[in-house]
Structure 1
Amino acid sequence: MPTTHGVLVRRYDPHPALGRHQVLDARSLAYRQRHRSEVLRPVHWQPAIPVLNQQDLAAQGIVTSAVVPGAPDADALASCTGNAAATALSVLRPGIVPDDAADAERWAIRLYADATAADEFLPYQWPPADSGSSGLGVARALKARGLITSYTHVFDADSLAAALQSGPVLLGLPWFAAWFTPAASGHIDDVPYWRTSGLAGGHEVCALGIEDIAQDTSGRVIPERTVLRLRSSWGPGWGSGGDCFLRLSTYVALRRQIDAIQLHA
């Protein structure tokens, strides 16, 4: 986890279903979201595209070498950052990402390639090295394409809940092995012994809203009683229609390994 010139990089082993690394740049502190004790409510942002799937690409009719010149053919990619960002962008700017599932996945794969090029703090680029990227890298790629005007960063639970009032948030998480199979409730943190199940890697998801929320008399969010809805990129058959749920208290417990970025159209 090297820190150089105000930049922290936490790298995870890439996995066919996972490919997020944590990159924190101290300059981001100047572009942070804040919570001002306003009343917060449950909210759900609906993507304009189907649930994406970074796996089983051949079954979707996707040939990666035809999508990105120079890419080797693969049946799965560590492209979760591209998928999460495509989902968020479809909320902000419907029509930019194709609404056909396979075409939307192709669009996300191209964005992933751009993100690996924009990740100046990570040493590999795809193609050819399918080694993942970061939330910061994919936000920079969208900004360079002119698809967003800006992006801001979230550093605490109250600000995350407040940011979700105005739109989705890219959430980079350390992903535990037990989380691949959510509990019957749809919660990944309802799975017994998830903390000791082992770290599988890093995963980028799109936080689509707040299912339940509670605040104290000062306006601070009560993490144990606040639940986030997250969209993964493993198809609609995973979790609850492709989504899962996470208590804000789990975010608090893992916050040092999490980064959160909100895109602005």
Structure 2
Amino acid sequence: MNITRIPENHNREYRLGRHVRHDPRSADYALPALPKSAIKNVIWERHIPILDQGQIGSCEPNTGVELLATNAVGYTGVTSVQISKSDTQGEFAAGATWQINEDMALQLYRLLTRIDDYPGSWEPDDTGSDGLTMAKALVMLGLSDVYHHAFTYKAAVSALQKGPVAFGTVWYNSMFDPKPDGEIIVDPSSGVAGGHAYMSRQFDADNDRVWIDNHWAESWGLDGRAWVSGTGMTTLLKAQGDVIVPHLIGAAPTPTPTGPTGAQVAAAVRGALTGLGV
């Protein structure tokens, strides 16, 4: 298990909150890259407004609830959800209905910080969390039954052909202020500000751009959204980034990989993770 806490080191008004938790067993749930001919322009409809995590390091649970509210193949995003299973910490009761908004994200943050391994829990401790814990929490609550991982940029944009995905990456200082056209500049030389999680529900195949939905209110970027070039996202994923794709209850089944078998993909990914010391 590779666990890395990423401290926030910036003087901006925005909060981050994502840490690294990579498990070699995730290789068994690796998503394949589709042929280039299968990669198209895609945008999945979102059914809630842009959220605002404010001065709380809750980017991971914000991303989780945004996935619930966004369409995917065989799944229509919702504005409220009924919890089917009580969690182990008593934060969510089975049968309770939650509106998908910032309040639910904060409640999910309470749960995440109680089931992850980082010292302290919110509140009062604003510890941040990680994507793997977020995905496990959705399963714990009966909102998802399994989650998959995209270990390369090509696999990530392939996953976007079927629905939204959760990115977890470092956040460089250059990334806070998108350009007027919405481009996020990925410049490692600007320094690491911390780690951040965000949802993507749009891929511009014509221009090789991954659009992200942030949770810093609509005043950030272009109404709360911005884009990262394929080159930029590849850089982010190579810096201990992760792409998690929860399979939400009711969504179409994850397709059987084509090309290399699932075992071959898993073996290749596990070898790469081992090389990174995971």
Q: Same fold (TM over 0.5)?
A: yes
2:183 paired with 1:183: no
1:103–1:151 CA distance, 2 compared to 1 (3 A) = closer
CA distance in 2, matches of 1:172, 1:23: 10
- TM-fit CA distance, 1:97: 5.4
Per the alignment, residue 105 of structure 1 pairs with 102
The counterpart of 1:114, out of the listed 90, 111, 115, is 111
SS across alignment from 2:174: helix
CA distance in 2, matches of 1:103, 1:167: 18
CA distance in 2, matches of 1:128, 1:25: 28
Per the alignment, residue 84 of structure 1 pairs with 63
- TM-fit CA distance, 1:195: 2.7
Residues 113-141 of structure 1 show CA distances to partners (whole Å, capped at 9, x for unaligned) of 11222324x33322231110001111111
Per the alignment, residue 192 of structure 2 pairs with 199
CA distance in 2, matches of 1:8, 1:171: 17
The counterpart of 1:17, out of the listed 12, 15, 18, is 15
CA distance in 1, matches of 2:160, 2:192: 27
Per the alignment, residue 252 of structure 1 pairs with 234
1:233–1:43 CA distance, 2 compared to 1 (3 A) = same
Aligned residues of 2:149 and 2:245 also touching (Cα < 8 A) = yes
1:97–1:79 CA distance, 2 compared to 1 (3 A) = farther
Counterpart amino acid of 1:44?
I
2:139 paired with 1:143: yes
Alignment of 1:29-178 (within 5 A): 29-37=27-35, 39-55=38-54, 76-92=55-71, 93-96=77-80, 104-120=101-117, 122-178=118-174
SS across alignment from 1:131: coil
Counterpart amino acid of 1:94?
V
Aligned residues of 1:14 and 1:78 also touching (Cα < 8 A) = no
Aligned residues of 1:118 and 1:138 also touching (Cα < 8 A) = no
- TM-fit CA distance, 1:250: 1.3
Aligned residues of 1:97 and 1:104 also touching (Cα < 8 A) = no
Residues 58-107 of structure 1 show CA distances to partners (whole Å, capped at 9, x for unaligned) of xxxxxxxxxxxxxxxxxx21000011111111115413359xxx971001
1:103–1:46 CA distance, 2 compared to 1 (3 A) = closer
CA RMSD, 1 decimal: 1.9
The sequence identity of aligned pairs, in percent, is: 31
SS across alignment from 2:38: coil
CA distance in 1, matches of 2:8, 2:113: 13
The answer for unaligned runs of 5 or more in structure 1 is: 1-6, 56-75, 214-224
Per the alignment, residue 235 of structure 1 pairs with 217
Which is further off, 109-118 or 226-235? 109-118
The answer for unaligned runs of 5 or more in structure 2 is: 72-76, 83-98, 249-278
Residues 18-49 of structure 1 show CA distances to partners (whole Å, capped at 9, x for unaligned) of 00001101110001111241511011112111
1:254–1:107 CA distance, 2 compared to 1 (3 A) = same
Aligned residues of 1:90 and 1:97 also touching (Cα < 8 A) = no
Residues 157-186 of structure 1 show CA distances to partners (whole Å, capped at 9, x for unaligned) of 111111000111100010111211111121
- TM-fit CA distance, 1:14: 4.1
The counterpart of 2:205, out of the listed 194, 212, 229, is 212
Per the alignment, residue 217 of structure 1 pairs with none
SS across alignment from 2:144: coil
Q: How many residues align?
A: 221
Counterpart amino acid of 2:170?
P
Counterpart amino acid of 1:104?
N
CA distance in 2, matches of 1:150, 1:124: 27
Counterpart amino acid of 2:119?
P
